[in-house]
Amino acid sequence: MVTLEIKQLMALAAVIEEQSFDKAALRLHVTQSAVSQRLKQLEEQLGQPLLKRGTPMAVTAAGQKVLRYAKQVELLQGELLHELGYGELKSAKLSIAINADSLASWFLEAVQPLIEQQNLLIELKVDDQEKTHEFLKNGEVLACISSSDSPMQGCNCQYLGHMRYLCVASEDFYQRYFSQGVNAAAFMQAPAVDFSHSDEMQSRYLAHYFQLQERDYPRHHIPSSEKYVEFIGRGLAWGIVPEMQFKQFSRDYALRDINPGKVMTVPLYWHSWNVKSALIAQLSEALQLYAEKALR
């Protein structure tokens, strides 16, 4: 019978999180050779490779399952030691995948009370809401905010609400490109700004309301939520912005909704491991309560 040792599981988790054997060794307070030996023993016990060595380092399909289990063990062990009086000095750490717009608009306010009450540490991995699911699938995080409503095996899925998006531009930009009307011909000349090369909000908006394709309009790429809005505010592009961010930044920049009544809505779901963790339960409850006010 195969018995997995916690120190071997923690070695795998540390190498993936630190992306380095040396940094993993420092984190675990052992030598680099000890980390390598623990991983080797774990792979030999399971009879298959778990780690893809390279840049970046990743886990195999089997490694995804082991990494997910390792993180669950680490979380539950930490909670148990805290309950027994051994965990006062060590903060719990929760890894979460989140979309950039939620991070920039409502998430931090939602989790701040729990972070302060529980002396909680969080590690966020940021990507588009269509892609955050992959971090959960790979075992890299214990939960994610995603636009997908399909629960993964061994995970819970809770509806949070919808984020509303507006098509916005500065007043100067509007007068330069849309003074004759907000139509397909104007959008074919007016540069848009995407958050990243995988950002599809602008292209979806134009396809839905104006039957335009990606190749039909010029685009910038600004991979920063705050600078994204600033770029629009400086009159350099138009973009699709969360309504909450629009209200926040319209005070700083002369922004306007250039197509009133025509919005994009994105549903958001909270996916988390189905484990008996008090911290996950508290985090899920905090997000649900805040989302009822902010997203519905």
Nearest Cα residue to 87 out of 123, 111, 119: 119
| Averaged pLDDT score across all residues of the chain | 90
At residue 90, the pLDDT reads 54
At residue 89, the pLDDT reads 43
Residue pLDDT, tens place only, 65-74 = 888 888 888 8
Low-confidence ranges of the chain (pLDDT < 50): 89
69 exposure class (CB count in 10 Å sphere: 0-12, 13-18, 19+): middle
Q: Which domains does the chain have, with CATH numbers?
A: 164-266 (3.40.190.10)
At residue 214, the pLDDT reads 82
Whole-angstrom Cα distance, residue 139 to residue 86?
A: 27
Residue pLDDT, tens place only, 47-56 = 999 988 888 8
Instruction: Tell me the pTM.
Output: 0.80
The residue whose two tokens read 């973009």 is 239
At residue 87, the pLDDT reads 54
Nearest Cα residue to 101 out of 241, 202, 232, 3: 241
- From its phi and psi, is residue 139 left (phi > 0), alpha (psi between -120 and 50) or beta? left
